[in-house]
Amino acid sequence: MHRLIALAVLFQHLVLSGTTLQADPLKSLEQWLAATPLSDERLRELATQDFAAEPLTAPQAAAATEMLWKSRSEFLRSDRKAELDARELIIGDLKMPFWYRSFGAAPAEGRRLFISMHGGGGAPAAVNDQQYENQKRLYQPEEGIYLVPRAATNTWNLWHQGHIDQFFDRLITDLMIFENVNPDRVYFMGYSAGGDGVYQLAPRMADRLAAA
Residue 197: CB atoms within 10 Å = 29
Per-residue pLDDT for 11 more than 60? no
Percentage of the residues of the chain whose pLDDT score is greater than 90: 82
Helix (H, G, I), strand (E, B) or coil at 133: helix
Residues 147/114, Cβ–Cβ less than 8 Å: yes
How would CATH label the architecture of 82-208? Answer: 3-Layer(aba) Sandwich (3.40)
pLDDT at res. 202: 96
Segment 65-92 shows an average pLDDT of 95
Residues 188/164, Cβ–Cβ less than 8 Å: no
Per-residue pLDDT for 184 more than 90? yes
Alpha carbon dihedral 123, 125, 128, 134, in 10-degree steps, equals: -140
How far apart, in whole angstroms, are the C-alpha atoms of residue 198 and residue 203? 9
Q: What is the DSSP letter of 150?
A: P
Q: Helix axis angle, 25-35 relative to 58-79, nearest 10°? A: 10
pLDDT at res. 148: 98
Q: Tens digits of per-residue pLDDT, 118-147? A: 999 999 999 999 999 999 999 999 999 999
| One-character DSSP codes across 66-113 | HHHHHHHHHHHHHHSHHHHHHTEEEETTEEEEEEEEEESPPPTT-EEE
pLDDT at res. 23: 62
Per-residue pLDDT for 9 more than 50? no
Q: Tens digits of per-residue pLDDT, 33-68? A: 998 889 999 999 999 999 888 899 999 999 999 999
How far apart, in whole angstroms, are the C-alpha atoms of residue 190 and residue 212? 9
Residue 20: CB atoms within 10 Å = 7
Give start-end residues of each CATH 3.40.50.1820 domain in the chain: 82-208
Q: Give 40: exposed, middle or buried? Use CB within 10 Å, 0-12, 13-18, 19+.
A: exposed
How far apart, in whole angstroms, are the C-alpha atoms of residue 52 and residue 60? 12
